[in-house]
Structure 1
Amino acid sequence: MSKTILITGAGSGFGEGAAIGMAKNGHQVIATAQISPQVAALRRKVDELGLKNLRVEKLDLLDLYDVAYAHTWDIDVLFNNAGMGEAGPVSEIPVDLVRRNFEVNVHAPLVLTQGFIRNWIARKKPGKIVFTSSMGGLFTPPGYGIYVSTKHALEAIAEAMQQELRPFGIKVQTINPGAYLTGYNETMADTPFRWLDDARNFTKKAEMRATFDSLLGTPQGRLDPAEMIARMIEIVPSDTGKFRNVVPQFVEDMLKQHQLDAWNNEI
């Protein structure tokens, strides 16, 4: 059955691919992007594809007017996909960058989501909320502690919401991608080098770069995003499925083992 689906962070990567794929499958899609150039570029692509059921709008989650306008849209599914990442050593990263990462990845999506929840409950309408979390929502690699802490927070929020909203017919899911090569992880890995200073910080730039290269420079750190996009196209509109959706399978297996090993982790 066709759904009306709002996707945040659809200006590139997973969000753009999922928006196009779900529209091709017959859903009514509102694909949103943070800035006007992204909106214009996606509108051109949609026109070229002839997708009349894919509408592109500007939605900056930190813009209260954008958010208020979005809350006027009648949707069946909210796909919270927008986010950003700050990398670098937790023990040295400037705390203002930490606050901003939580504002964009946790607080702002929560504001957007609460508004749609109120609308659905007031109208006695069932709905669905999907959060793009991360494999990093379930474990913490070095160098990515701040970013993945925002995803840990989303995991907790989504788990509580699933239980709280079940009586109202509102479903909640997370999607947990592995290290897919969209450019997102690679760009995030560059962020600490705008403030790291070998003369001041005890974490040295070369050491930090080597850490990132060890995580992203392997085939497991450069997966084809087409696999994840295909799964998003299936998961987001579905009325059934698992609460947590880790892709690919080898990452799910690794995370389960990591969580078991954590009980024996010694200092």
Structure 2
Amino acid sequence: MSKKIFFTGAGTGLAKGAALGLAKEGHHVVASVENHPQVTSLKEAAAKANVEMEIFKMDITNPADRERMHRYDYDVFVANAAVNEGGPLGEVPMSAFRNLFEVNVFSTLETARIAAAHFVEKRSGKIIFMSSMAGVMASEYTGLYAASKHALEAIAKSMYQEMKEFNVQVATINPGPFSTGFNDRAVEEKWEWYDEEIHYTPKEKMKEKDQAMADQYDPEDMIAEMVNIIPKHSHKFRTAYPDKTAEAMREEEKDNWEKEI
């Protein structure tokens, strides 16, 4: 059955691929993107794929842009727009931390609230939060992003309960590390402010962590999983992919009960 599916942050990465993939499957896709160049790029990609999508510019941090959501009807809302940045929590500029929460938590919730009100009026619908393995896991120099996704997990769990009586579903999708460039930008960003003459975190340790993050999966596999899960009427609250990532998430949660300081 064809669904009307609304994306935020569909201009790049996994959401761009999933939006195109769902349109190919015959679903009506409303794809919002952060800026006008991404509008042009996505329109070109849709034309090349021979699919139709409604594409418009919506920076989720911009209240005027968010108001445009009210123009559309949809059955599924995919809260995907996010930013990523790494670095040691003791030294990363607090402005970067605040900006990351503004996008990944506060503005994401504001869009989800608009979708929730829309679905309550319809007495049906589904909100999917694009979380991450970082919604459960955290490690050195990834705390900014992990903290924001931990917050998003709490939002999703609460809304899952709160929206039940209105026949509105809530779920998360938790990708592992996929090579879309999103993780690479996070690795690079901290070197814009880090100065080993000033900061105490060893440069070598951060470089080692960067190397460990270089091993990433083919995004086409995750895109296919999203195309499968997003329009489904029934599925698990949390979809972690691939299986190796799901196992690592379960193991870390278990370890947190057993580790000592």
Query: Which bin holds the TM-score, normalised by the shorter protein?
Result: over 0.9
Match among 244, 251, 258 for residue 238 of structure 2 = 244
SS of 2:174's equivalent?
Answer: strand
SS of 1:143's equivalent?
Answer: coil
Shift of 1:124: 3.5
Q: Compute the RMSD of aligned alpha carbons.
A: 1.1
Equivalent residue number for residue 64 of structure 1:
63
Q: Deviations over 1:144-181 (max 9, x none)?
A: 10111100000000000001101100001100001111
Match among 252, 255, 266 for residue 260 of structure 2 = 266
Match among 195, 198, 209 for residue 197 of structure 1 = 195
Equivalent residue number for residue 18 of structure 1:
18
2:242 alignment partner AA = P
- Which TM-score applies when normalising by structure 2? 0.97
Q: Deviations over 1:175-233 (max 9, x none)?
A: 0001111111011111111111111100133331221212x13xxx3111111100100
SS of 1:174's equivalent?
Answer: strand
Q: CA–CA distance in 1 between the matches of 2:93 and 2:180? A: 26
Unpaired segments of 5 or more residues in structure 1?
none
When structure 1 is superposed on structure 2, of 12-21 and 254-263 the one drifting more is 254-263
Q: CA–CA distance in 2 between the matches of 1:156 and 1:18? A: 25
* Contact 2:69–2:114, Cα closer than 8 Å, also in 1: no
Shift of 1:254: 1.6
Match among 228, 240, 258 for residue 234 of structure 1 = 228
SS of 1:176's equivalent?
Answer: strand
Shift of 1:119: 2.3
Q: For 1:1-267, what aligned pairs fall within 5 Å after superposition?
A: 1-52=1-52, 54-121=53-120, 123-214=121-212, 216-217=213-214, 221-267=215-261
Superposition misfits of 4+ residues, deviation over 3 angstroms: none
Identity %, equivalent residues = 37
Q: CA–CA distance in 1 between the matches of 2:255 and 2:63? A: 43
Q: CA–CA distance in 2 between the matches of 1:246 and 1:161? A: 19
Q: CA–CA distance in 2 between the matches of 1:187 and 1:106? A: 19
Q: CA–CA distance in 2 between the matches of 1:251 and 1:115? A: 31
- Which TM-score applies when normalising by structure 1? 0.95
* Contact 2:11–2:33, Cα closer than 8 Å, also in 1: yes
Shift of 1:258: 1.5
Unpaired segments of 5 or more residues in structure 2?
none
